């Protein structure tokens, strides 16, 4: 009942923001740090909703910057060579990091002491050492650090969580998450992205990091922030001629009290996929993609199928929700998908998975 009330409050709150937002309200002043992560197209191509305004972009690669500025009809004057040059000219209230995962820490180290909030693309960090430092800085300087995943905005995942919290699925027993695609080279990722995405230092791994983080994030959310007691993983490089430095295949098994989580992360899938299966003692739900959901709650009846509408503003968009949190219109919830609490556990799971894959044995996590 408590969680149902929370969901209702979120929906009501989001409607208040949507319909109560004044046209005269000043948009949040934001800057983009790095253009090498191609998820940056998400913000560059975003419809102008009046909630954020890009005041500058840091990108030392002028060729890459020029291509993107031309593509989006933006002036090269928005480009700054480094973070210092940006701050000499602009006063952003928040920044969005679209560089390597390794660089997330340096972005937070620069902006946190200035009181500037930071959004990073998944995962939060390449290691627990980096993640702990990020949390330390965020707490010391009272900034928000928000981790963005595409699957956070899937209505199907939120419906699955609702069914679980309402006990319609019974006791949770197993969650299986599949994420990935045919491989970054195979799908035509640009060279600037590949240069760090396939580097074990700059990305923290291959598919185990790139797509293993999705399952770790969703599982941590579904179990309300509980940590797994054990982590077992196997990684492989099936295409060493293409990915000589990193894995392209990873399976991670998380052991919880009374249930298991299975994360299948791959750069070898036949087709791109981001789907999740949630199994309880009384029923199951399968989120086939962003909008299509299958639910089966009785053994003698087939699964029902439905296509869900998008989530309401600002819960349908990372930039809108982050802006609403910074402005105080939305209060962040611990262990929610974008939260520091959740994403610290994600990095701990990924670190343990890499350790397990290297040793061939399961890793036990500290419950604290």
Q: Does residue 333 contact residue 152 with C-beta atoms inside 8 Å?
A: no
Burial class, 152, CB count within 10 angstroms (exposed 0-12 / middle 13-18 / buried 19+):
buried
Q: Mean pLDDT throughout 260-285?
A: 99
Burial class, 156, CB count within 10 angstroms (exposed 0-12 / middle 13-18 / buried 19+):
buried
Q: Mean pLDDT throughout 310-326?
A: 98
For CA atoms 323, 325, 329, 335, the dihedral sign is: positive
Reading the block at residue 22, the tokens are 């004044």
pLDDT confidence band for 368 (50 / 70 / 90): confident
pLDDT digits (tens, 9 = 90+) for 47-80: 999 999 999 999 999 999 999 999 999 999 999 9
- Compute the mean pLDDT over every residue in the chain, rounded to the nearest whole number: 95
Q: Does residue 285 contact residue 163 with C-beta atoms inside 8 Å?
A: yes
CATH says 2-150 is which class?
A: alpha beta
CATH says 151-309+334-364 is which class?
A: alpha beta
Per-residue confidence (pLDDT) for residue 24, from 0 to 100? 66
DSSP 78: G
Q: Does residue 64 contact residue 35 with C-beta atoms inside 8 Å?
A: yes
Residue scoring higher pLDDT (18 or 329): 329
Percentage of the chain lying above the pLDDT 70 cut: 93
pLDDT confidence band for 25 (50 / 70 / 90): confident
- Distance separating alpha carbons of residues 120 and 24, to the nearest angstrom: 29
pLDDT digits (tens, 9 = 90+) for 288-315: 999 999 999 999 999 999 999 999 999 9
Per-residue confidence (pLDDT) for residue 367, from 0 to 100? 84
- Distance separating alpha carbons of residues 268 and 276, to the nearest angstrom: 18
Domain residue spans of the chain: 2-150, 151-309+334-364
Q: Mean pLDDT throughout 104-125?
A: 99
Torsions phi, psi of 160, nearest 5? -60, -45
- Distance separating alpha carbons of residues 236 and 218, to the nearest angstrom: 23
pTM for the structure as a whole? 0.93
Which residues are paired to 293 by β-bridges?
287, 306
Per-residue confidence (pLDDT) for residue 137, from 0 to 100? 99
């Amino acid at each position: 009942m408590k969680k149902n009330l929370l969901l209702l409050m979120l929906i009501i709150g989001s409607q208040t923001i949507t319909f109560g937002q004044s046209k005269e309200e000043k948009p949040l002043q934001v800057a983009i740090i790095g253009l090498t992560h191609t998820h940056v197209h998400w913000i560059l191509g975003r419809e102008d909703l009046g909630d954020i305004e890009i005041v500058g972009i840091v990108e030392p690669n002028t060729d890459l910057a020029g291509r993107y500025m031309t593509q989006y009809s933006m002036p090269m004057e928005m480009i700054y060579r480094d973070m210092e040059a940006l701050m000499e000219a602009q006063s952003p209230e928040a920044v969005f990091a679209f560089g390597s995962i390794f660089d997330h820490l340096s972005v937070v180290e620069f902006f946190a002491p200035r009181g500037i909030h930071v959004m990073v693309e998944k995962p939060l960090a390449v290691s627990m050492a980096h993640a702990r430092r990020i949390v330390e800085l965020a707490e010391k300087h009272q900034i928000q650090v928000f981790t963005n995943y595409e699957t956070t905005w899937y209505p199907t995942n939120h419906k699955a969580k609702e069914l679980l919290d309402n006990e319609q699925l019974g006791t949770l027993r197993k969650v299986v998450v599949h994420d990935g695609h045919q491989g970054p080279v195979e799908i035509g990722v640009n060279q600037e992205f590949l240069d760090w995405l396939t580097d074990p230092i700059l990305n923290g791994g291959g598919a185990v990091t790139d797509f293993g983080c999705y399952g770790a994030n969703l599982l941590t959310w579904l179990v309300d922030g509980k940590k797994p007691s054990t982590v077992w993983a196997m990684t492989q490089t099936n295409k060493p001629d293409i990915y000589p430095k990193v894995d392209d295949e990873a399976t991670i098994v998380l052991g919880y009290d009374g249930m298991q989580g299975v994360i299948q992360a791959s750069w070898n899938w036949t087709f791109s996929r981001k789907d999740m299966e949630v199994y309880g003692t009384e029923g199951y739900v399968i989120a086939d993609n962003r909008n299509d959901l299958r639910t089966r709650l009785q053994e003698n009846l087939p699964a029902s199928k439905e296509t869900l509408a998008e989530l309401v503003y600002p819960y349908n968009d990372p930039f809108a929700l982050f802006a609403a949190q910074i402005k105080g219109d939305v209060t962040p919830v611990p262990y929610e998908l974008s939260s520091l609490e959740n994403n610290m556990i994600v990095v701990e799971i990924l670190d343990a998975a890499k350790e397990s894959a290297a040793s061939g044995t399961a890793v036990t996590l500290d419950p604290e």
